[in-house]
Amino acid sequence: MNGKMKGIFIVILLLIGVQADMSAQAPEVMQQASFRSEVISDEVFARIEGKSFAAGCTTPRGDLRYLQVLHYNKEGEVLEGELVCHKDIADDLLEIFQELYKARYPIERMVLIDEYDADDEASMQDNNSSAFNFRYISGTRRLSSHSRGMAIDINPRYNPYVRHRGGRTLVSPSGAEAYEDRTQDFPYKIVKGDLCYRLFKAHGFTWGGDWKNSKDYQHFEKR
Protein backbone atom coordinates (compact mmCIF):
# COMPACT_ATOMS: atom_id res chain seq x y z
CA MET A 1 0.00 0.00 0.00
CA ASN A 2 1.52 3.31 -1.08
CA GLY A 3 1.58 6.38 1.14
CA LYS A 4 -1.43 8.03 -0.54
CA MET A 5 -3.64 4.94 -0.22
CA LYS A 6 -2.51 4.46 3.37
CA GLY A 7 -3.50 8.04 4.17
CA ILE A 8 -6.96 7.56 2.63
CA PHE A 9 -7.41 4.32 4.57
CA ILE A 10 -6.57 6.06 7.87
CA VAL A 11 -9.03 8.88 7.12
CA ILE A 12 -11.79 6.33 6.41
CA LEU A 13 -11.08 4.54 9.69
CA LEU A 14 -11.21 7.84 11.58
CA LEU A 15 -14.54 8.76 9.97
CA ILE A 16 -16.01 5.36 10.85
CA GLY A 17 -14.85 5.81 14.43
CA VAL A 18 -16.37 9.28 14.71
CA GLN A 19 -19.66 8.09 13.23
CA ALA A 20 -19.81 5.12 15.61
CA ASP A 21 -19.10 7.40 18.58
CA MET A 22 -21.86 9.79 17.51
CA SER A 23 -24.29 6.89 17.10
CA ALA A 24 -23.47 5.64 20.58
CA GLN A 25 -24.07 9.09 22.04
CA ALA A 26 -27.27 9.74 20.07
CA PRO A 27 -29.75 8.07 22.48
CA GLU A 28 -28.25 9.93 25.46
CA VAL A 29 -28.33 13.24 23.60
CA MET A 30 -31.92 12.61 22.48
CA GLN A 31 -32.91 11.70 26.04
CA GLN A 32 -31.41 14.88 27.48
CA ALA A 33 -33.15 16.99 24.83
CA SER A 34 -36.48 15.33 25.63
CA PHE A 35 -36.44 16.33 29.32
CA ARG A 36 -36.83 20.07 29.59
CA SER A 37 -38.45 22.83 31.59
CA GLU A 38 -39.70 26.10 30.10
CA VAL A 39 -41.53 29.19 31.28
CA ILE A 40 -45.22 29.19 30.39
CA SER A 41 -45.35 30.37 26.79
CA ASP A 42 -48.37 32.13 25.32
CA GLU A 43 -49.19 28.92 23.45
CA VAL A 44 -49.22 26.83 26.63
CA PHE A 45 -51.07 29.51 28.58
CA ALA A 46 -53.80 29.52 25.94
CA ARG A 47 -54.28 25.80 26.68
CA ILE A 48 -54.56 26.21 30.47
CA GLU A 49 -56.26 29.60 30.88
CA GLY A 50 -59.79 29.20 32.18
CA LYS A 51 -59.14 25.52 32.93
CA SER A 52 -56.33 24.50 35.29
CA PHE A 53 -55.39 28.18 35.45
CA ALA A 54 -58.92 29.06 36.53
CA ALA A 55 -60.41 32.49 37.10
CA GLY A 56 -59.15 33.79 40.42
CA CYS A 57 -56.01 31.64 40.34
CA THR A 58 -53.68 32.90 43.07
CA THR A 59 -50.54 31.25 41.68
CA PRO A 60 -48.74 33.69 39.35
CA ARG A 61 -48.13 32.48 35.83
CA GLY A 62 -44.46 33.36 36.31
CA ASP A 63 -44.18 30.81 39.13
CA LEU A 64 -45.18 27.93 36.85
CA ARG A 65 -43.12 25.85 34.47
CA TYR A 66 -44.05 23.63 31.52
CA LEU A 67 -42.22 20.29 31.54
CA GLN A 68 -41.74 17.81 28.73
CA VAL A 69 -40.46 14.32 29.51
CA LEU A 70 -40.31 10.79 28.15
CA HIS A 71 -41.83 7.79 29.91
CA TYR A 72 -42.63 4.13 29.34
CA ASN A 73 -46.01 2.48 29.70
CA LYS A 74 -46.44 -1.11 30.89
CA GLU A 75 -46.31 -2.35 27.28
CA GLY A 76 -42.79 -0.94 26.99
CA GLU A 77 -43.75 1.85 24.60
CA VAL A 78 -41.94 5.19 24.90
CA LEU A 79 -44.37 8.09 25.21
CA GLU A 80 -43.99 11.86 25.37
CA GLY A 81 -45.32 13.38 28.56
CA GLU A 82 -46.11 16.93 29.59
CA LEU A 83 -47.16 18.69 32.77
CA VAL A 84 -47.24 22.07 34.48
CA CYS A 85 -45.73 22.50 37.94
CA HIS A 86 -44.28 25.14 40.26
CA LYS A 87 -40.81 26.37 39.35
CA ASP A 88 -39.52 25.26 42.77
CA ILE A 89 -39.99 21.57 41.93
CA ALA A 90 -39.35 21.67 38.17
CA ASP A 91 -35.74 20.47 38.43
CA ASP A 92 -36.75 17.81 40.96
CA LEU A 93 -39.37 16.41 38.61
CA LEU A 94 -37.03 16.42 35.61
CA GLU A 95 -34.44 14.45 37.56
CA ILE A 96 -37.05 12.03 38.91
CA PHE A 97 -38.60 11.37 35.50
CA GLN A 98 -35.20 10.86 33.89
CA GLU A 99 -34.42 8.18 36.46
CA LEU A 100 -37.85 6.57 36.05
CA TYR A 101 -37.33 6.57 32.28
CA LYS A 102 -33.90 4.94 32.56
CA ALA A 103 -35.45 2.22 34.72
CA ARG A 104 -38.46 1.82 32.36
CA TYR A 105 -40.79 2.51 35.28
CA PRO A 106 -44.31 2.42 33.79
CA ILE A 107 -46.49 5.52 33.67
CA GLU A 108 -49.54 5.07 31.49
CA ARG A 109 -50.37 8.63 30.48
CA MET A 110 -49.11 12.15 31.14
CA VAL A 111 -50.93 14.99 29.37
CA LEU A 112 -52.08 18.34 30.68
CA ILE A 113 -55.16 18.01 32.85
CA ASP A 114 -56.66 20.69 30.62
CA GLU A 115 -57.24 17.93 28.06
CA TYR A 116 -59.97 16.89 30.52
CA ASP A 117 -61.14 20.50 31.04
CA ALA A 118 -59.26 20.43 34.38
CA ASP A 119 -61.73 17.81 35.65
CA ASP A 120 -59.67 15.92 38.23
CA GLU A 121 -62.07 12.97 38.38
CA ALA A 122 -62.01 12.46 34.61
CA SER A 123 -58.23 12.73 34.52
CA MET A 124 -57.83 10.20 37.33
CA GLN A 125 -60.27 7.75 35.76
CA ASP A 126 -58.14 7.84 32.62
CA ASN A 127 -55.04 7.13 34.75
CA ASN A 128 -53.50 10.42 33.70
CA SER A 129 -50.56 11.70 35.76
CA SER A 130 -50.67 15.46 36.36
CA ALA A 131 -49.51 18.24 38.66
CA PHE A 132 -50.79 21.85 38.56
CA ASN A 133 -54.54 22.40 38.79
CA PHE A 134 -56.03 25.36 40.66
CA ARG A 135 -58.75 23.69 42.71
CA TYR A 136 -60.03 23.14 46.21
CA ILE A 137 -59.68 19.92 48.19
CA SER A 138 -62.83 17.90 47.58
CA GLY A 139 -65.56 18.80 50.07
CA THR A 140 -63.65 21.78 51.52
CA ARG A 141 -62.77 25.39 50.80
CA ARG A 142 -59.07 24.71 51.28
CA LEU A 143 -56.81 24.98 48.28
CA SER A 144 -55.07 21.80 47.19
CA SER A 145 -51.28 21.68 46.92
CA HIS A 146 -51.96 21.15 43.21
CA SER A 147 -53.20 24.75 43.14
CA ARG A 148 -49.62 25.92 43.60
CA GLY A 149 -48.18 23.24 41.37
CA MET A 150 -46.33 21.72 44.33
CA ALA A 151 -47.99 18.28 44.09
CA ILE A 152 -48.18 15.56 41.49
CA ASP A 153 -50.39 12.49 41.07
CA ILE A 154 -48.84 9.41 39.45
CA ASN A 155 -50.96 6.67 37.83
CA PRO A 156 -54.00 7.81 39.85
CA ARG A 157 -56.54 5.19 38.80
CA TYR A 158 -54.41 2.39 40.20
CA ASN A 159 -53.31 4.44 43.22
CA PRO A 160 -56.56 5.94 44.49
CA TYR A 161 -57.45 8.22 47.36
CA VAL A 162 -59.02 6.13 50.15
CA ARG A 163 -60.81 7.31 53.28
CA HIS A 164 -62.86 5.39 55.83
CA ARG A 165 -65.67 7.45 57.34
CA GLY A 166 -68.77 6.45 59.29
CA GLY A 167 -68.44 2.81 58.39
CA ARG A 168 -68.11 3.65 54.70
CA THR A 169 -65.08 3.53 52.46
CA LEU A 170 -64.68 6.41 50.04
CA VAL A 171 -62.51 5.73 47.00
CA SER A 172 -61.53 8.31 44.39
CA PRO A 173 -61.64 8.12 41.44
CA SER A 174 -64.87 6.19 41.13
CA GLY A 175 -64.32 2.81 39.56
CA ALA A 176 -60.99 2.36 41.35
CA GLU A 177 -62.41 0.36 44.26
CA ALA A 178 -60.56 -2.78 43.15
CA TYR A 179 -57.26 -1.01 43.75
CA GLU A 180 -57.95 -0.11 47.38
CA ASP A 181 -56.55 -3.49 48.44
CA ARG A 182 -52.82 -2.90 48.33
CA THR A 183 -52.00 -6.56 49.01
CA GLN A 184 -53.07 -7.40 45.45
CA ASP A 185 -50.79 -7.27 42.41
CA PHE A 186 -51.82 -5.05 39.51
CA PRO A 187 -50.05 -2.77 37.02
CA TYR A 188 -48.98 0.79 37.83
CA LYS A 189 -49.19 0.24 41.60
CA ILE A 190 -46.98 2.46 43.77
CA VAL A 191 -45.72 0.77 46.92
CA LYS A 192 -43.59 2.05 49.74
CA GLY A 193 -39.97 1.39 48.88
CA ASP A 194 -40.38 1.09 45.11
CA LEU A 195 -38.33 3.26 42.76
CA CYS A 196 -40.98 5.94 42.34
CA TYR A 197 -41.39 6.24 46.11
CA ARG A 198 -37.64 6.34 46.76
CA LEU A 199 -36.94 9.00 44.15
CA PHE A 200 -39.65 11.35 45.36
CA LYS A 201 -38.63 10.88 48.99
CA ALA A 202 -34.98 11.54 48.09
CA HIS A 203 -36.07 14.87 46.59
CA GLY A 204 -37.91 15.91 49.74
CA PHE A 205 -41.50 14.98 48.78
CA THR A 206 -44.03 13.39 51.11
CA TRP A 207 -46.24 10.52 49.95
CA GLY A 208 -49.99 10.35 50.48
CA GLY A 209 -49.67 6.64 51.13
CA ASP A 210 -48.03 7.51 54.45
CA TRP A 211 -50.96 9.60 55.69
CA LYS A 212 -52.74 8.34 58.82
CA ASN A 213 -56.39 9.42 58.51
CA SER A 214 -56.63 8.72 54.80
CA LYS A 215 -54.45 7.32 52.03
CA ASP A 216 -53.66 9.01 48.73
CA TYR A 217 -51.43 6.49 47.00
CA GLN A 218 -51.03 8.55 43.83
CA HIS A 219 -49.99 11.76 45.57
CA PHE A 220 -46.55 13.28 46.16
CA GLU A 221 -46.11 16.86 47.37
CA LYS A 222 -43.37 19.19 48.54
CA ARG A 223 -43.85 22.06 50.98
Does any domain span residue 7?
A: no
Does any domain span residue 170?
A: yes
Which tens digits make up the pLDDT trace of 27-42? 454 455 689 999 999 9
Q: Which of 148, 147, 155, 93 has its CA nearest to residue 123?
A: 155
Does any domain span residue 138?
A: yes
Q: What is the DSSP letter of 39?
A: E
Q: What is the pLDDT of residue 26?
A: 40
- In this prediction, residue 12 has a pLDDT band, given cuts at 50, 70 and 90, of very low
Which tens digits make up the pLDDT trace of 163-196? 998 889 999 999 999 999 999 999 999 999 999 9
Which pTM value belongs to this model? 0.85
Whether the per-residue pLDDT at 18 is higher than 60: the answer is no
Q: Which residues pair with residue 37 across a beta bridge?
A: 67
DSSP helix/strand/coil, 120: helix
Number of independent structural domains in the chain: 1
- In this prediction, residue 98 has a pLDDT band, given cuts at 50, 70 and 90, of very high
Whether the per-residue pLDDT at 23 is higher than 60: the answer is no
Domain of 83, in residue numbers: 32-221
